[in-house]
Structure 1
Amino acid sequence: MSRLDRARNGPGTPEDGEAVGHRMRAAGMTVLPVPRIATGDPQVLRRAVADRSGPVLCTGLMDGWRARHAWSPTELRGRHGERRVTALVDLPPTGVLFPQDQQLYEKELSFAAFVDTMLAATPSTPCYLAYRRAHEFFDPADFDFDSLVPPDGRHGTDTRVWIGSAGTRSMLHSDLKDNLFCQVWGKKDVTLLAWQDSRAAYPFPDNLVNSQVDLGTPDLKRFPLLGRARFHHVRMGPGDLLYIPRGWWHDIRSRTASVSINHWFGEPLGLAQYLRLLAVLGPGYWKSTARDFVVHGLLRREESTRFFFSPASTGKRLYDALRSGNFSQGNDPSTTRQL
């Protein structure tokens, strides 16, 4: 076994899934397991999607994918080593926001050099090649989402790949569409919170899809609603597929070097759902939304990118919705700025 492949079994992060779950429970939070289903039948997944009652982890649905053996670092390095990529390097190991604008972490290098950097990185200086459209980088024959959730002909889909070191973190956030998150190689931990408990996620006043909470260091004095909500947690390994219903908040952390792919599909949450959430969050959120409506909508001033792949602010999205009727335009994965 090569050094590249041994990294799969390398050490986890200081705040790995077990530590995060332990800290959450020790702080008085409720953390439940995600239901697991061993099946090769896509109908089981489709029923879960139709019910949209909560997350489900399926094993067996990816068994026939070529990606399962073709996407190890050794194979990827050999097939794509000369390709130039732009990755995020020397990322902060703690905190919810980037200390600097996201562009300051970007570095252009060959894919082979990125793989070497990824495997040498420590959890204190993680690196990520993330949010890349799968079909632009890999052979579409390596994976197959259409047989799992056939396109409905009305709503667009988007498929992305995520390749990174131990210690990479996609902090608690919410997506507009249903999501199939698939672990191809390595290990990740995912913690989830239902959309109806969004108040307990404490969204940023200027961005309703990103949480102010770091689940690795839960602070119930500052965020008391954390103690009243029910979280779910799952550890994912190669071949695991996690269905995340639209709107569900999720925190994703890599325990080892990791290769993942996800697929957004179906009808997105719309303006009405976000206006209802905005209404219950209170005046501080209304003021922030109004400010960004003017500054980033009417005045068209550029927004900072200190979130992980920053979506547009709530105010800018409301501005877009009133002009185009599409509230998801500013947070649609198919239109967000690409590295």
Structure 2
Amino acid sequence: MLKIATLESFDIDAIYKAGIPTLITDTTDTLTSAPHSWSKNYVKAALEKNSSVVENFRVILTENKFIRGTDLNRKRANVKYGEEALEWLLGGTLLGDHPELTCYVGLVDLQDVEELKRDAKVGLPSFMFKAEDEDHGIPYKDGVSELGLWVGSGDIDSGLHYDHNAGGFMYLVQGSKQVMMFPQSDKRHLYMSQKYMHTMESTLFLGELLERPFRNMVYQYISLWLTKPHSATMVPGDVLYIPHEWFHEIYSTGTTVGISSWVNLSH
């Protein structure tokens, strides 16, 4: 089952060894020590200072809330790049005069944006960067490879997938997220589909896992009885640890800002 820890009781070595999802709560005070608030206008201004980041910056606009990175190759996604994409980050909402659309900004690598990276280093819980220490070489062998910024407006579903890294942390700055997770050993029970997808993704559960109670789905998809699901509800200040190659589906509600840190496998 999901392990829940407070900042005071959190033991990073024990979490790594256990290899199960862990929700760390009561970390809000660490964020307030950042020199700036992470408003959308502040993020936009920081991104604009780096021309290479602006050039590669993108937002996905869609009436369908079920989106992920592979939507870049699909006609149903309207993708904006560069300066035009940044304009969608103005004001109190991401969408301005287009409330019917969902806007998803992913992923901005903060390693390329010094100002945001510096603020994150000051404001985020220190254990998110323990991977850089030689004493924490398992399973994090190469140090933090990316510090990512995720921004969204509206209800956004990531789809069920796993990442090719050694696991990592997600810190929620604003909004709320529901997360459903399965260990890699459950793969054969998750109805994986390779049609138009990567082998690490499942189209079957796109938007269903978190929209419908999981207990109702097991009657339609009987193999789910054999899985070991872990679920978490995140609020601002929470950090979620997702272990290496765990499947996860993330459902974000409203305007959300999240920061993640993870590493690549040493091999």
Tell me which interval the TM-score lies in, with the shorter structure as reference length: 0.7 to 0.9
Find the counterpart in structure 1 of residue 22 from structure 2: 56
Q: 2:111 aligns with which of 109, 118, 135?
A: 135
**Partners of 2:12 and 2:260 in 1: CA distance:** 15
Q: 1:208 aligns with which of 181, 196, 199?
A: 199
The two structures have a TM-score, normalised by structure 1, of 0.59
Find the counterpart in structure 2 of residue 37 from structure 1: 5
1:90-105 maps to which residues of 2 (within 5 A)? Answer: 90-94=62-66, 98=71, 101=74, 105=78
Counterpart AA for 2:240: L
* Residue 168 of structure 1, CA deviation: 1.7
Q: 1:167 aligns with which of 145, 155, 158?
A: 155
Find the counterpart in structure 2 of residue 47 from structure 1: 14
Q: Secondary structure at the match of 1:189?
A: strand
Contact 2:173/2:237 (8 A) holds in 1 = yes
Find the counterpart in structure 2 of residue 240 from structure 1: 238
Find the counterpart in structure 2 of residue 264 from structure 1: 262
Contact 1:182/1:260 (8 A) holds in 2 = yes
Q: 1:107 aligns with which of 60, 80, 83?
A: 80
**Partners of 1:91 and 1:39 in 2: CA distance:** 38
**Partners of 1:169 and 1:115 in 2: CA distance:** 23
**Partners of 1:72 and 1:40 in 2: CA distance:** 28
* Residue 261 of structure 1, CA deviation: 1.0
1:295-314 maps to which residues of 2 (within 5 A)? Answer: none
Distance verdict in 2 for CA 1:199–1:37, change over 3 Å: same
* Residue 69 of structure 1, CA deviation: 5.5
Structure with higher Rg: it is: 1
Q: 1:150 aligns with which of 127, 131, 136?
A: 131
Counterpart AA for 1:126: T
**Partners of 2:60 and 2:260 in 1: CA distance:** 19
**Partners of 1:140 and 1:258 in 2: CA distance:** 19
Q: Deviations over 1:224-245 (max 9, x none)?
A: 2123323222111111100001
Structure number having the greater strand percentage: 2
Counterpart AA for 1:170: S
Counterpart AA for 2:3: P
5+ long unaligned stretches in structure 2: none
**Partners of 1:81 and 1:40 in 2: CA distance:** 38
Contact 2:58/2:79 (8 A) holds in 1 = yes
Find the counterpart in structure 2 of residue 183 from structure 1: 172
Distance verdict in 2 for CA 1:68–1:129, change over 3 Å: farther
Q: Secondary structure at the match of 1:139?
A: helix
Find the counterpart in structure 2 of residue 8 from structure 1: none
Contact 2:61/2:103 (8 A) holds in 1 = yes
**Partners of 2:66 and 2:105 in 1: CA distance:** 19
* Percent identity of equivalent pairs: 21
Distance verdict in 2 for CA 1:126–1:103, change over 3 Å: closer
Find the counterpart in structure 2 of residue 300 from structure 1: none
Find the counterpart in structure 2 of residue 254 from structure 1: 252
* Residue 165 of structure 1, CA deviation: 0.6
Distance verdict in 2 for CA 1:135–1:100, change over 3 Å: closer
| Runs of at least 4 residues off by over 4 Å | 66-69, 77-84, 94-100, 119-122, 217-222
* Residue 99 of structure 1, CA deviation: 10
Counterpart AA for 2:193: F
Aligned residues: 234
Between 95-104 and 125-134, report the one with greater CA deviation: 95-104
Cα RMSD (Å): 3.4
* Residue 191 of structure 1, CA deviation: 1.2
Distance verdict in 2 for CA 1:68–1:181, change over 3 Å: farther
Distance verdict in 2 for CA 1:194–1:45, change over 3 Å: same
**Partners of 1:46 and 1:61 in 2: CA distance:** 18
Contact 1:60/1:240 (8 A) holds in 2 = yes
Find the counterpart in structure 2 of residue 197 from structure 1: 186
Counterpart AA for 1:201: L
Q: Deviations over 1:313-336 (max 9, x none)?
A: xxxxxxxxxxxxx6xxxxxxxxxx
* Residue 35 of structure 1, CA deviation: 2.9
Does residue 118 (structure 1) correspond to residue 94 (structure 2)? The answer is yes
**Partners of 1:102 and 1:112 in 2: CA distance:** 22
**Partners of 2:111 and 2:179 in 1: CA distance:** 25
Q: Deviations over 1:45-81 (max 9, x none)?
A: 33212221x1111124463245595212354356557
Contact 2:60/2:79 (8 A) holds in 1 = yes
Q: Secondary structure at the match of 2:248?
A: strand
Counterpart AA for 1:105: N
* Residue 163 of structure 1, CA deviation: 0.7
Contact 2:173/2:259 (8 A) holds in 1 = yes
Find the counterpart in structure 2 of residue 87 from structure 1: 59
